[in-house]
Amino acid sequence: IKTIGVLTSGGDAPGMNAAIRAVVRTGIYNNLRVMGIKRGYAGLLQKEIMEMDVTSVGETIQRGGTILQTARCPEFVTLEGQKQAAEICHEMGIDAVVVIGGDGSYKGARALSHQGIAVVGIPGTIDLDIACTEYTIGFDTAVNTAMEAIDKVRDTSSSHERCSIIEVMGRNAGYIALWCGIANGAEDILLPEKFDGDEQRIIDNIIANRKKGKQHHIIINAEGIGDSNGMAKRIEAATGIETRATILGYMQRGGSPTCKDRVFASTMGALAVDLLVQGKINRIIAYKDGEYINLDIDEALEMQKNISEYQYKISRILAK
């Protein structure tokens, strides 16, 4: 392998720049040419590719978003698109591509590997919903951003003795909701993996807490359940307690990455290049049981994940 490409795909996540920087600088350290592919697979198909040097990633480690930009690319789902992408890699002399993204991006990477281009995946998503790994780039920053925002909502919620429903991101997974629920001491946490739609239980909990003298009631609702505004109206009607919904939205995806995201992303970026240098291809980098590991891309894509039952259990006990 002489030339590698690097791209970010799917939703952006704070820390992606640290990973790109590590790929570029570790690649150059190992005498490889490194090509930055803009806008994910869409940019690959459009040949938006430029050579990167050590200075092109200067001043990026502290920046949120992704300097390579990102996109979701429907054309790349077709075999024709995948063949065309592989041809472009051959034409540009790209032997391997480091893909920073989530499961959807790995499916694209696997397709590219079937067309003869070596790939390595790095987990990048705020949702933490990649089965093979306990860490994904951006999750730590996103939960810290959401946690701070929820603390602020809680201040005003207590002053007005209101109930607040705060909706956090996570697509179909409840990791951000669960972590914020624990970190913010939320009275209720609604996770797609757990919530059976029983709003009466929440209403009873609000009334019981009010009787106990609690001034506020914070409900963290995961995006995968949604309908926070509708829920607020129904809760207010049933309890007589003013209830407001706040949807945190895209602010959770932005901002300067935390130390953890910078260090993990840097390590994973360097590891991706090390694997390629050692001739280990079509792997996904992961973090499990306190160690960085790598898995075959097919195996990684078949794995299943669920939220921790223990964490969920304690979140309920601690919220009393």
Using the rule CB under 6 A, which residue among 113, 125, 228, 258 binds ligand F6P?
125
Q: Strand order of the sheet with strand 118-123?
A: 49-52, 33-37, 3-8, 96-101, 118-123, 283-288, 291-296
Q: What residues numbered 186-245 form the site for ligand F6P, per CB under 6 A?
A: 223
Measured from the CB atom, is 5 or 102 closer to ligand F6P? 102
Catalytic residue among 127, 140, 188, 261: 127
Strand arrangement, sheet containing 243-247: 188-190, 217-222, 163-168, 243-247
Q: Which residue is nearest to ligand F6P (CB)?
A: 11
- Residue of the chain from 18, 169, 186, 248 that contacts ligand F6P (CB under 6 A): 169
140 catalytic per annotation: no
25 known member of a binding site:
yes
Amino acid identity of residue 283, one-letter, is R
The nearer residue to ligand F6P, 5 or 11, going by C-beta atoms, is: 11
Burial class (CB in 10 A: 0-12, 13-18, 19+), 252: buried
Whether the Cβ atoms of residue 293 and residue 101 lie closer than 8 Å to each other: no
Q: Which helix (H) or strand (E) holds 120?
A: strand 118-123
107 binds ligand F6P (CB under 6 A): no
Does residue number 11 form part of the binding site for ligand F6P (CB under 6 A)?
A: yes
According to CB under 6 A, which one of 127, 140, 167, 187 is a site residue for ligand F6P?
A: 127
In the numeric block, which tokens belong to residue 140? 């730590």
Please choose, from the candidates 56, 50, 73, 49, the residue with its C-alpha nearest in 3D space to the C-alpha of residue 17: 56
Binding site: residue ranges?
A: 11, 21-25, 72-73, 102-105, 125-127, 154, 162, 169-171, 185-187, 211, 214-216, 223, 244, 250-253
Active-site residues, by number, are: 127
Residues that bind ligand F6P (CB under 6 A): 11, 125-127, 169-171, 223, 253
